[in-house]
A and B are shown apart, each in its own frame.
Chain A
Amino acid sequence: MPVERRVDTVMVDQRAGAFSRRSIKTDSKAAGLRLAISMLDLTTLEGKDSPDKVRSLCRKAMRPYAGELDLPVPAVAAICVYPSHVQTAARMLAGSGVKVASVATGFPSGQYPLDVRLKDVSAAIDAGADEIDMVINRGAFLSGRETEVAEEIRQVWQACDGAHLKIILETGELETYQNIRKASDLVIEAVASTGVLRDGEVFIKTSTGKISPAATMPVTLVMLEAIRDHFISTGIRIGMKPAGGIKTAKQALHYLVMVKETLGEDWLTPGLFRFGASSLANDLLRQLLKGLTGHYMAMHDFSEA
């Protein structure tokens, strides 16, 4: 067990608030917006998802803006779907460089027997998923059965078999910053204990998007600090993915500022930082096009995400 690090709630709120008071304009803004687009995990996780919805999302992922620009908008990092849509997505995205991420392990609750959750992971990987977004067993974590949580993560990581793993803490259910920090340290230690990790092979992720509050700046800051402390002690770079509730370009830029000032520029790459979102894509495009054309765009100028 790692030494438990204390979180100063007041300072976390204050520090996280400070990032949203930076003014980012013109060239830096355009660069930030393009970077944020390239870091998107374009997500659809609904019971009513259909193969056509997933195919349309894949087209959006490969070419976020349909119009002609001198400097084209980059493709997004990945699309994120349920396991039953992985095959559809993998076929559409083959050769495009856009990764297929699948939620698994009984997403979003994780309230299934371990062997079912592990099969869920293997099925998604067999279908062609490059990345697995797993949920931790919050019930076990909150009842203090931490070794059980850690052991389950180790087994899921082994089942990933080369696929990248994003571990969802579901911070909205963890109640306090202290718990979030503790869970972050716990899951990072759990995967790290299986052997030497490569940079960006494992991410920690805030939320499923099914529980409110989802990603917030202070919560993400606490998790970034856990990543920083792990890097300082081991030299391994764990990735970060805030998900849920990030809807505007302005918010996205604030997150980028926070990442840069907490972890440094190394993390400003889709390999180490992602946004889990869907409506964010069009707001990023809207702001980017405002900069390029000088006038405000309408939502109907962009395809649905």
Chain B
Amino acid sequence: MPERLDIIKTCKLFIGGSFPRTESGRSAPVHDGRGRVIAHVCIASRKDLREAVESARRVSDSWADASAYLRGQILYRMAEMLESRREEFASAISTTTPLTPAKARREVDASVDRLVRFAGWTDKFQQVLGCQNPVAGPYYNFSVPQPSGITGILSPDAPSLLGLVTMISAPLCTGCPVVAVASDSTPLPAVLLGEVCATSDIPGGVVNILTGNRAELIEPMAEHREVQVIAAANLKPAQRELIQTAAADGLKRIHLLEHSDSSWLDDDAAASPWEIDPYLDTKTIWHPSAT
């Protein structure tokens, strides 16, 4: 019986619903806790980022116009797909991070629950974050939340899966397409999450996931005028300043998340309506009343 060769996975980017290699041709090995190479991931370039934003732009109107019901169904479908691959995700987390298998499983479960929670919010945040305003005149005056547009995401190193899932599901819930840059040090869960997206009815281009060198992609993402919101977790002070400076020109919104390991797991902290609010603009409508 000949010895079987190792099949080491080549992880690709997730752009526009397909899995292209990076345009730059660069890749990096992923090691397990004992230093063995278990996969290779792409190092995305600024051109890959541009392609991802282009794909997101092509679907931004249709995703914003999709009914809240449909968006909820799709997020729930993502949760189902993630649930059916729990073991694979847990082993990806426990082999590439210091987490124990038990803790890794808890993170995967929390991620599934997080998706379900935001799926539930898709047709409810409007009531919480919108309102009818009292005005002095014969008018109804409504403040209606609207999706802000393409959202750039810089997800944290830890929790590698739960952080990314939380950060993409909040804008998806409002109707914003996302371009996410995964953690440099633990990209494997993000790559698998792309495969989950590809099989869960998410229209191609609504979720785009890039792996590679996060520091290299911060500036082009912040400068890209098509990106309307940037959400970033656990940034260094210099990176935060870089984003704020570059984003000023396009009047981009910035949402900085500062969660501890335990608050990522806490639904009230990480998945409250105030975590949905940063991806919304408010449209105010005046309507003549009958009197």
Interface size counted on chain A using CB atoms at 8 A: 7
Instruction: Tell me how far the C-beta of B245 lies from the nearest C-beta in chain A, rounded to whole angstroms.
Output: 12
Q: Give chain A residues whose Cβ lies under 8 Å from the Cβ of B250.
A: 298
User: How extensive is the interface on chain B, given as a class?
Assistant: 10 to 19
Q: Which of B57, B226, B246 has the most CB of A within 10 A?
A: B226
For the complex with contacts A296-B50, A296-B226, 19 further pairs of A-B residues with Cβ separation under 8 Å are A295-B220, A295-B223, A295-B224, A295-B225, A295-B246, A295-B249, A296-B53, A296-B220, A296-B223, A296-B224, A297-B225, A297-B226, A298-B224, A298-B225, A298-B226, A298-B250, A299-B57, A299-B226, A301-B225
Instruction: Tell me how far the C-beta of A301 lies from the nearest C-beta in chain B, rounded to whole angstroms.
Output: 6
- Which A residues between 282 and 304 are near B, CB-CB below 8 angstroms? 294-299, 301
Instruction: Tell me how far the C-beta of B16 lies from the nearest C-beta in chain A, rounded to whole angstroms.
Output: 15
- State the CA gap A301–B225 with chains docked (Å): 8
- Which A residues between 256 and 305 are near B, CB-CB below 8 angstroms? 294-299, 301
Q: Give chain A residues whose Cβ lies under 8 Å from the Cβ of B224.
A: 295-296, 298
Chain A residue with Cβ nearest B50: A296
Q: Which of B53, B57, B225, B249 has the most CB of A within 10 A?
A: B225
Q: What secondary structure prevails in chain A residues at the interface with B?
A: loop
Q: Which of A295, A296, A298, A301 has the most CB of B within 10 A?
A: A296
Q: Give chain B residues whose Cβ lies under 8 Å from the Cβ of A296.
A: 50, 53, 220, 223-226
Q: Give chain A residues whose Cβ lies under 8 Å from the Cβ of B225.
A: 295-298, 301
Chain A residue with Cβ nearest B228: A298
Number of A-B contacts (CB under 8 A): 23
Instruction: Tell me how far the C-beta of B116 lies from the nearest C-beta in chain A, rounded to whole angstroms.
Output: 33
Chain B residue with Cβ nearest A295: B223
- State the CA gap A295–B249 with chains docked (Å): 10
- State the CA gap A294–B57 with chains docked (Å): 20
Q: Give chain A residues whose Cβ lies under 8 Å from the Cβ of B57.
A: 299
List 23 contacting pairs A-B, 8 Å CB cutoff, sorted by A.
A294-B223, A295-B220, A295-B223, A295-B224, A295-B225, A295-B246, A295-B249, A296-B50, A296-B53, A296-B220, A296-B223, A296-B224, A296-B225, A296-B226, A297-B225, A297-B226, A298-B224, A298-B225, A298-B226, A298-B250, A299-B57, A299-B226, A301-B225
- State the CA gap A294–B225 with chains docked (Å): 11
- State the CA gap A294–B249 with chains docked (Å): 12
- Which B residues between 30 and 77 are near A, CB-CB below 8 angstroms? 50, 53, 57
- State the CA gap A298–B224 with chains docked (Å): 7
- Which B residues between 91 and 117 are near A, CB-CB below 8 angstroms? none
Q: Give chain A residues whose Cβ lies under 8 Å from the Cβ of B226.
A: 296-299
- State the CA gap A296–B50 with chains docked (Å): 8
Instruction: Tell me how far the C-beta of B114 lies from the nearest C-beta in chain A, rounded to whole angstroms.
Output: 30
- State the CA gap A232–B238 with chains docked (Å): 64
Write out, one digit per residue, whether chain B residues 207-227 have a CB within 8 A of any chain A CB (1) or not (0). Answer: 000000000000010011110
Q: Give chain B residues whose Cβ lies under 8 Å from the Cβ of A294.
A: 223
- State the CA gap A301–B50 with chains docked (Å): 16
Q: Give chain B residues whose Cβ lies under 8 Å from the Cβ of A299.
A: 57, 226
Chain B residue with Cβ nearest A297: B225
Q: Give chain B residues whose Cβ lies under 8 Å from the Cβ of A297.
A: 225-226
Q: Give chain A residues whose Cβ lies under 8 Å from the Cβ of B246.
A: 295
- Which A residues between 153 and 179 are near B, CB-CB below 8 angstroms? none
